[in-house]
Amino acid sequence: MQEHQQLSDSEITEDLTAPVIRSARWFWSFVGSLGFIMLVGISGYIYELYSGLGVTGVQRPVYWGAYITNFVFWIGISHAGIMVSAILRLTQAEWKRPITRAAEVLTLFSLIAALSNILFHVGRPWRIYWITPLPPIFIGFDFARGIWPNVRSPFVWDPVAVGTYLLSTILFVYTCLIPDIALVRDKVKSGPAKIVYSILALGFRGTPRQWKVQATAPILLSALVLPIFVSVHSIVSWDFAVSIAVEGWHSTIFAPYFIIGAIHSGVSGVVTLMAGLLWLYKLDKYIKPDHFDAIGRLLVVVATIWFFALFLEWIYALYPLEDPEIALRNMQVSQPPWSYLFIVFLLTGFFIPVSAWLFKSVRRNPMWMFFTTILVNIGMWLERFLIIVPGLSRRTELSFNWGSYAPSLVEIGLVAFTFAFVICGIIVFARIFPLIPPFDIKEGMRFRHVIKIGKKNISAVVRE
Amino acid sequence: MKKIKNNLIFTERVIERSLGKVPVNKELINIHNRKRGNTFNSFLYITAFLSVFGIIGIILRIMNGFDDMSAWSYYVTACMFIFTTFMGAPMVSMATKVARGNWRRPISRMSEIFCISGIAGLIFFTPILWVLPSLEDGRKTLWFFDPGKVPAYSPHIWSTLALLGFVLTALTLLWLNARPDFAILRDKSKGKSKIYSFLAYGWVGSTHQWGSLRDRVSVLGIFYFMLLLTVNYFFASDFLMALIPGWVDSLYPVTLSHNAIQGGVAILTIAVFIMWKWGGYQNFIGLDQLWGLGKLLFGISLLWFWFFISSLMVLWYGKKPNERDVLQLLMFGKYLPIFLFTFFFVCIIPFFALTLDSIRKSYYGPPIIALSVLIGNFLDRFRHYGSAYSLDRTIDDATHRFASLPDIAIPNMVDLMVIFGAVSMPLFFILIISKYVPVISLWENREYLLYGSHEKYYKTEVLVEGKPY
Amino acid sequence: MANKSVLGLFIDENEAGDALSSLRKAKYQDNEFEVMTGTPYPHGTFGEAHPKLRLHRFPIFGAVIGFTVALIITVGTQLAYPLVTGGKPVLSIPPMLVIFYEMTLLFSVIVTVFGALFESRLPKIFMGAYDERIMTEGYIGVVVTVPIDRISKAEEILKKSGAESTKRGWEEERILKKSGAKSTKRG
């Protein structure tokens, strides 16, 4: 990377802990407006709680709508975070340094957002604890519940998998955060903040033993979290795929297809986030065009594999030549409004961004990357919507009544809530902890070498 | 650290490097040019003999006729085994080049040499074109057969074209990557310089040539990967899935490509081990290479389970008559022992063994596990192709299930000849070509002198590696 | 005798390394002195002893615990109230695999994180002689923790090796005796 700048430790500390030490000028107004959106969403939810699911657009036979779409979408986004971080850690890619933490935090908040969608979607959210295998003596007051969760139901796997993923992500983020909490502890002069950071830092002093753990533990945890990450979206996809009731869902490729789609949308989410952070916190010394370039190339590969999976999904849906399946596919591509959505999905999800990313000038431009990755996520949201809704709204032999689906205002409000929540969560996290790990950047400065060959300088790095 | 204006700054450490006075590694050239020992020659003769045996097997099989598909089950298995092991090995070179891993340098050429086995694959594949019936038999197909509009031999036409493209791309890749080495050998070795100057095809190492080499290799590498997917897609669909009525598994083409890469990594691990142990390359191949391959094998074996469970879950839950049939046929019916052995060899053993640091990070661990993967891979091919080709495709009208499931066929003499031939012929080609193409890339190894070295770092020594372009 | 610690702050890596070798020469044991840095350095940069970690064992413990929990959740609960749903056997392996898989990994992660804390010797309540500049500005700290009678000599060695400044701090034994003492982070 030729754009490298050697920075002093104090400068790095100063730059990267600045958002933690004092609020930026825009902070309160930004968080305030996001808070307003969240408030609107929550009031919609209270209304929904009071009047029941009738206030949403779901009706027979389309029982799953925007909430489930949004659930799958956020689970998808959550994937990239850990994927980017874990894969880059395992392959010891040098350009991971400024990206990993932000990616992990994105995972954290998008998982919470995903889980909240389930709460919005169920009719009696106050019985959500029924999903736990707590023995009846613990919840003896609840007489209706005499039985255990049915482990043969995919809806029991979901909370197990997502809960595992959430808990592991929290632990993962915290483990990697300890040195930086110690830094903030030392940076903050006094006051209650100092006490809180001191407790959270657990007395970290930066001895060789502690640094060795900091080098090994994330790799070990990455190796453990990666299989969890693969399982979570597979399980979410099986919510659909194990059922034979709906055409277009019962396909074996669903698990890999969902995973690769999740990586596609999630890595794009990470890029969007990187560009946002770059502008918000003026991090151009740390996030370089090279980083966008590297991640852009990764995206081209991921997007192409995803498209191949989409192709296989379609071709094998048509392969048995069964009428209901053909009718469904026909409806998706030729019957408005689905056909319009389908075109938008293809263009935004694949054709526009991927053809743009083939150009180096686009990949190296944060502004371009910001918009193209947002396009991807519009496409990927529609992808989930087009899997769920048309499949359910197709007339089958035994449906007694049928209607279509359009999201109600409450649903739109709650979808907006999740977006606001994730953005707000990341901004608030960045107000409390450094979002770019200073110790990692400082390590990069020490590990860096330059190999001079003739007139060319090549950056090199210490390998351990 | 230095103190500059009250700030501590870590100054960049600069290493100057040039290849001006570093000659091409003589040891590598000497090992390549040396007279091959008895072991090498006896292996060469054995594989040559078995290849001839295999060809006789092919002829005998053809003479028996194409009508009885079940007689061809071992044959197709053997042919597919070539494509899902030998032809997957070059992916290691392509993938590690994309990831710019420096540990690949000593093994990338060996991985590319496996491209030559495509020729053996083509030889074995050709008769299968006559075994596979035309689309007029009414089976489902990728080509959505419509008499008059879609040619009845679409699968045959397109898969042959894809396969030819695949093998040609592979051979071109091998040649392109080896061209600078041919030029070195043209200038450095006596006796064979005519062949080498022909193969080097005017390579002088100009900046332009190096630049275009890099571009061509990366473009062809991507092509290779896409063709690998395509070829396996055809093999999985028209040559397999279409022959089992009611089997709809959109994942299987990807699974087969994955199996090919797994088999490729496994056979490459063994090849690298042989180079280390008996090839005289102990100074060039180290723990890093076998460990790296071990890690790859571990990751890929985990993926095997994921692909397997993704398909199983959907079919098992679906429980439609055709799905139950497919599971009975491929896993839980008469082929249960084959399935269990496959699972054991290809997933359980690699997973539990390679989890252990002491096995993964060793010279002997990865190749032994690789052997288990190869056995498993063969059984997996047999589980699918063997059952598909010997299946009686009549469906019972009352139960909507298969009227009967095939027994596990016992290989007869001809089958054994074909199987041994299919394993030996690629090996024979590889041994032959290793006499002319250095099995460790001379130029990639020399290039590494520019980018990797051990440097003093205060009180210790560290490995510093650069990743150019 | 109570332990006391002294910290020397270094700018140059070589000087810090020299301090370590001089300490060794003066018969200070490897467990009596430590380097502190604000960022990881390659192992052995200062000639320090290689810490031995046993982090790889923890996930296996976790996996065993997780597997057992999963066994109780799946087999236990399903046998406690056997109810056939969807035409599947009460103990069906494919769905149970999912729970086994998740629980095994979950407990591996949890135990690994505890293992990471344990191996880092965290939490450490009394930090001994410490300076904020190590984390924030990139100074290299060498801290020697020895009985009180050997402390002055250690301080001398540190100064001689080129420490920019030194400072002293109390270790836990002394603190515990002094009831109500405050944290000694600032030495």
CB contact under 8 A, A183 and C112: no
Q: In the predicted model, is pLDDT for residue A221 greater than 80?
A: yes
Rg, chain B, Cα only: 25
**What pLDDT is attached to residue A439?**
92
C109 neighbourhood in chain A, CB within 8 Å: 167-168, 171-172, 221, 224-225, 228
Rounded-to-integer distance, Cα C56 and Cα C89, Å = 38
Q: What is the pLDDT of residues C11-59, one digit of tens each?
A: 999 999 999 999 999 988 888 899 999 999 998 899 888 888 889 889 9
Rounded-to-integer distance, Cα B197 and Cα B177, Å = 15
Average pLDDT, chain A: 90
Q: In the predicted model, is pLDDT for residue C175 greater than 70?
A: no
Give the count of domains, chain B.
1
**ipTM value greater than 0.90:** yes
Residue B366 inside a domain? The answer is no
Q: Is B311 on the interface with A (CB under 8 A)?
A: yes
Residue B6 inside a domain? The answer is yes
The three-class DSSP label of residue C57 is: helix
Shortest distance, CA C169 to any CA of chain B (angstroms): 25
Give the percent of chain A with pLDDT over 70. 95
CB contact under 8 A, A462 and B462: yes
**What pLDDT is attached to residue C124?**
86
What is the band of C173 on the pLDDT scale with cuts at 50, 70, 90?
very low
Residue B18 inside a domain? The answer is yes
Residue B34 inside a domain? The answer is yes
**What pLDDT is attached to residue A452?**
87
CB contact under 8 A, C137 and B8: yes
Q: In the predicted model, is pLDDT for residue A164 greater than 50?
A: yes
Handedness of CA A174, A176, A178, A184 (dihedral sign): negative
CB contact under 8 A, B1 and C47: no
Q: In the predicted model, is pLDDT for residue B178 greater than 50?
A: yes
**What pLDDT is attached to residue A144?**
53
**What pLDDT is attached to residue B112?**
95
Chain A residue with minimum CA distance to B15: A451
A11 neighbourhood in chain B, CB within 8 Å: 7
Tokens found for residue B406: 């095939």
C46 neighbourhood in chain B, CB within 8 Å: 458-459
**What pLDDT is attached to residue B455?**
87
Q: In the predicted model, is pLDDT for residue A128 greater than 90?
A: no
Q: In the predicted model, is pLDDT for residue B21 greater than 70?
A: no
**Exposure string over A257-292, b if 16+ CB within 10 A, otherwise e:** bbbbbbbbbbbbbbbbbbbbbbebbebeebbbbbbb
Q: What is the pLDDT of residues B366-417, one digit of tens each?
A: 999 999 999 999 999 999 999 999 998 888 888 889 988 999 989 999 999 9
Asked whether A206 and C36 are in contact (CB, 8 A), the reply is yes
Chain B residue with minimum CA distance to A226: B299
Shortest distance, CA C123 to any CA of chain B (angstroms): 29
Residue B41 inside a domain? The answer is yes
Judged by average pLDDT, the poorest of A172-176, B265-269, C78-82 is: C78-82
What is the band of A6 on the pLDDT scale with cuts at 50, 70, 90?
confident
Backbone dihedral angles phi then psi of residue B222, each to the nearest 5 degrees: -65, -40
Residue B277 vs residue A92, higher pLDDT: B277
Q: Is A445 on the interface with B (CB under 8 A)?
A: yes
Domains of chain C: 3-51+125-177 (3.30.70.120), 55-119 (no CATH)
Phi-psi bin for A385: left (phi > 0), alpha (psi -120 to 50), beta?
alpha
What would the DSSP string read from start to end of B334-399? TTHHHHHHHHIIIIIHHHHHHHSHHHHTSSSHHHHHHHHHHHHHHHHHIIIIIHHHT----B-TTT
**What pLDDT is attached to residue C79?**
86
CB contact under 8 A, A182 and C135: yes
Q: In the predicted model, is pLDDT for residue A9 greater than 70?
A: yes
User: What is the average per-residue pLDDT within B65-93?
Assistant: 93
CB contact under 8 A, C138 and B457: no
User: What is the average per-residue pLDDT within C54-81?
Assistant: 90
Highest mean pLDDT among A80-84, A132-136, A145-149, C150-154: C150-154
User: What is the average per-residue pLDDT within A405-431?
Assistant: 95
Residue B373 inside a domain? The answer is no
Judged by average pLDDT, the poorest of A251-255, B368-372, B443-447 is: B443-447
CB contact under 8 A, A209 and C53: yes
**What pLDDT is attached to residue B22?**
67
Tokens found for residue B119: 């020729």
Chain A residue with minimum CA distance to B101: A91
Tokens found for residue A225: 């979290």
**Owning domain of residue B63:** 2-284+304-343+380-465
Residue B205 inside a domain? The answer is yes
Judged by average pLDDT, the poorest of B64-73, B157-166, B343-352 is: B64-73
Beta bridge partners of C146: C4
CB contact under 8 A, C122 and A178: yes
Tokens found for residue C28: 């200070």
Give the percent of chain B with pLDDT over 90. 65
CB contact under 8 A, A460 and B251: no
What is the band of B447 on the pLDDT scale with cuts at 50, 70, 90?
confident
Q: In the predicted model, is pLDDT for residue A253 greater than 80?
A: yes
CB contact under 8 A, A160 and C103: yes
What is the band of A130 on the pLDDT scale with cuts at 50, 70, 90?
confident
C87 neighbourhood in chain B, CB within 8 Å: 319
- For the beta carbon of residue C83, count every other beta carbon within 10 angstroms: 10
Q: Is A436 on the interface with B (CB under 8 A)?
A: no
User: What is the average per-residue pLDDT within A210-231?
Assistant: 92
C171 neighbourhood in chain A, CB within 8 Å: none
- Residue to mutate among C9, C12, C20, C165, with most B CBs inside 10 A, is C12
A150 neighbourhood in chain C, CB within 8 Å: 83, 85
Beta strands A456-463; B460-466: pairing state:
antiparallel
A183 neighbourhood in chain C, CB within 8 Å: 38, 135-136
Average pLDDT, chain C: 85
**What pLDDT is attached to residue B454?**
87
Q: In the predicted model, is pLDDT for residue A335 greater than 70?
A: yes
Helix axes A366-393, A338-346, angle to 10 degrees: 150
Give the percent of chain A with pLDDT over 90. 65
Asked whether C99 and C73 are in contact (CB, 8 A), the reply is yes
Q: In the predicted model, is pLDDT for residue C179 greater than 70?
A: no
**What pLDDT is attached to residue A138?**
60
User: What is the average per-residue pLDDT within B83-112?
Assistant: 91
Asked whether A381 and A73 are in contact (CB, 8 A), the reply is yes
Domains of chain A: 9-461 (1.20.1630.10)
Q: In the predicted model, is pLDDT for residue B46 greater than 90?
A: yes
Judged by average pLDDT, the poorest of B7-21, B109-123, C167-181 is: C167-181
CB contact under 8 A, C95 and A152: yes
User: What is the average per-residue pLDDT within A320-336?
Assistant: 89
User: What is the average per-residue pLDDT within A192-196?
Assistant: 93
Chain C residue with minimum CA distance to B315: C94
User: What is the average per-residue pLDDT within B250-270?
Assistant: 96
DSSP state of C6: E
Highest mean pLDDT among A58-62, A159-163, B20-24: A159-163
What is the interface size between A and C, counted as CB pairs within 8 Å? 192
Q: What is the pLDDT of residues A73-114, one digit of tens each?
A: 999 999 877 888 888 888 777 788 888 899 999 999 999 999
Backbone dihedral angles phi then psi of residue A450, each to the nearest 5 degrees: -125, 130
Please state whether the peptide bond connecting residue A61 to the residue before it is cis, i.e. omega within 30 degrees of 0: yes
B352 neighbourhood in chain C, CB within 8 Å: none
**What pLDDT is attached to residue B452?**
84
Cα separation values, B146 from A283, A313, A314, B139, B151, Å: 60, 22, 19, 12, 8
C45 neighbourhood in chain B, CB within 8 Å: 457-460
CB contact under 8 A, B7 and A11: yes
Beta strands A448-453; B13-16: pairing state:
parallel
